[in-house]
Amino acid sequence: MSQRIRKAVFPVAGLGTRFLPATKTVPKEMLPVVDKPLIQYAVDEAIEAGCDTLVFVTNRYKHSVADYFDKAYELEQKLEKAGKSELLAVIRDVLPRHVRAVFVTQAEALGLGHAVLCAQPVVGDEPFAVLLPDDLIWNKGPGALRQMADLAEKESASVIAVQDVPREQTGSYGIVATRDFSGRHGEITAIVEKPRPEVAPSNLAVVGRYVLSGRIFELLKHTRPGAGGEIQLTDGIAALMAEERVLAYRFQGRRFDCGSRIGLVEATIEFALDHEDLAEPAREYMRAALAR
């Protein structure tokens, strides 16, 4: 698979129960960090990596994700009439012209592996990316997926983003064992979904960015329910490793776990402090709040 990836899959059919009651009507991917919904950060990262086809795996309650990427005729007309060209550009940039969005439905929530498999009719058998929008990755230089796509192309291999986590947290992640780590990457020799700390092969955790060989789809079709009774992407990757090289990659950048409330708060603070209009007032407010 020495091809450059063109297609990116966004599994967005989850329930987002950690953010109830907000997620009663707003999908968690639509929760904002400062002024953009989480999904937009992931979409921007995929486009920067070279993807031009975005596949959203949704469920019947997630109309707002499709609405968000649709053209907003009335709003555009109003902004145009009012001469608000900057805002017009902001809403048009949600999806650049050369990029197309495709929506597929995951009728039953059978797990992340199953969600990815739902994208097969659009992706076919070429290498592709998977991005979990809960994991917001921030980097001043090239985005995490761009770094991974470059490596995947150069090494003709699948690439999975990893990060060290405290051992007591292994039960929240896919955990990998690796060999021949050089620089930022090494070959994965084992991958396990959410192992208890006592049995985890390491404390190197999978983060929500994957560049995968199209071969994974056939393997996912035969993957039985695993951890939590769900069809796990991790188990599909374990099967892929028996046939092809899969690399772990320690990306450059900082990851915010926006699937948790504290992660979303941290991301909001960090992005506000980096925002050209908000940095100063945000800093002032935080100083005052901490002094109280």
- 193 contacts ligand G1P (rule: CB under 6 A): yes
- 205 contacts ligand G1P (rule: CB under 6 A): yes
Number of residues that bind ligand G1P (CB under 6 A): 14
Q: Which of 119, 92, 105, 93 is nearest to 5 (CA)?
A: 119
Q: How far is the CB of 236 from ligand G1P (least distance, A)?
A: 11
Q: Is residue 119 a contact partner of residue 55, using CB atoms and an 8 Å limit?
A: yes
CA 137 to chain centre: 8
Torsions phi, psi for 100 (to 5 deg): -115, 145
- 207 contacts ligand G1P (rule: CB under 6 A): yes
Residue 176, strand partner residues: 191, 204
- The half-sphere exposure of 226 on its side-chain side, counting CA atoms within 13 A, is 22
Q: Is the dihedral of CA 168, 172, 178, 184 positive or negative?
A: negative
Q: For residues 79 and 130, which CB has a smaller minimum distance to ligand G1P in the complex? A: 130
Q: How far is the CB of 228 from ligand G1P (least distance, A)?
A: 8
| Residue from 33, 57, 95, 112 binding ligand G1P (CB under 6 A) | 112
Q: How far is the CB of 114 from ligand G1P (least distance, A)?
A: 12
- 211 contacts ligand G1P (rule: CB under 6 A): no
- 235 contacts ligand G1P (rule: CB under 6 A): no
- 129 contacts ligand G1P (rule: CB under 6 A): no
Q: How far is the CB of 36 from ligand G1P (least distance, A)?
A: 20
- 173 contacts ligand G1P (rule: CB under 6 A): yes
User: What is the radius of gyration, based on Cα positions, of the chain?
Assistant: 19
